[in-house]
Amino acid sequence: MSSDADTIVYLLNVATLLYKTFGLFIIVVSTIGNICNCFVFLCIRSLNKHPNALFVIGSSIGSLLYINIGLFSPIISVFSQFNPINRWLFWCKISAWLYYSAGCFSYICICFSALDQFLLTLPKIKWQRLITRIRAQFMILFTAIIWLIIFLPLLIFANHIQTSATTFTCTISVPIISVYSTYWIIIGYYFLPIILILILFCLTRYNLKQFLRRRRNLESAMVRVMLIQMSVILISGIPTSICIIYSLATKYSTKTYLSSVYESVIFLAFVLFTFFTNGISFWVYLFASKMFRKHIKDSISKLKLFKNRLTIFSTSSTTRINVLH
């Protein structure tokens, strides 16, 4: 019994350490990356000409909300023993609703981006121009509304349950709603994006080989970025979805406390890895695409050139004023 108790304490310490190190690292890296994505695809003209930029921005906003909402409260709880979700009922309801909605929205936007890349490789111009900026905006808005409606029951049924005289726990008051949201997150965050991106990747690669044989650089760049994105989703999504399915299948099975703690720590590790892969799209573009790096370097050099011109202008103006005096 004492050995089991020591193992449980050790596993709980591992979970705490994961939040303190890997969890905090994920928040910093993903927040910087998602903000950079929004800034780059909004402000650099050569990158925001095509509607695909809107999908990248939408995915980055969804990822930013998903990761920060999912990790903000537990990390604060680990460092300060204060959990906003268990303290404020409003935050309990809003965080559950936005967390699931933002996660699914983020990955569906990635699917839209992959679809747009596929259409660009088709031989007919009318298919290449099928997704316009107006249509892209409508697709993003419609997707966001749909997921907010799907997970609306979480906003209604998330509630505080009193565990002691002074403490509360945020939970779903109706068990069927908890199962309902879990099934939808499996579909919208894991199963559907994996299938769609896999299909679109295969079709895009086939089109590139058929119609872009003379443009090897474009083919290799597009395939490289799409392959990395698809691999990231597969590597992180499949194990976590298996864990969720296993958790649902064994929910009413009798388990020892030690086995439950083991499962919780393993599931936490997979979920944190999913958070990480969800928030690194900017770094994937940066390291996988030479053209993406070139656009960023050009924009930075233009900013420096503009600043130098302002400095020269202000210096010459000051000199003229002194001469006049």
- pLDDT tens for each residue of 201-218: 788 777 777 665 545 444
pLDDT in the model for residue 219: 45
pLDDT in the model for residue 85: 83
pLDDT in the model for residue 66: 92
With residue 185 as reference, give the H or E element that holds it: helix 175-185
Q: Of 3.30.1490.20, 3.40.50.10800, 1.10.3720.10, 1.20.1070.10, which CATH number belongs to 1-311?
A: 1.20.1070.10
Give phi and psi for 256, each to the nearest 5.
-75, 160
- CB-based burial, 223-240: b 16+ in 10 Å, e otherwise: bebbebbbebbeebbebb
Distance CA(126)–CA(39), nearest Å, equals: 30
pTM for the full predicted model:
0.83
Which amino acid type is present at position 275?
A: F
Positions of the chain with pLDDT under 50 = 1, 214, 216-219, 310, 312-325
Distance CA(271)–CA(171), nearest Å, equals: 19
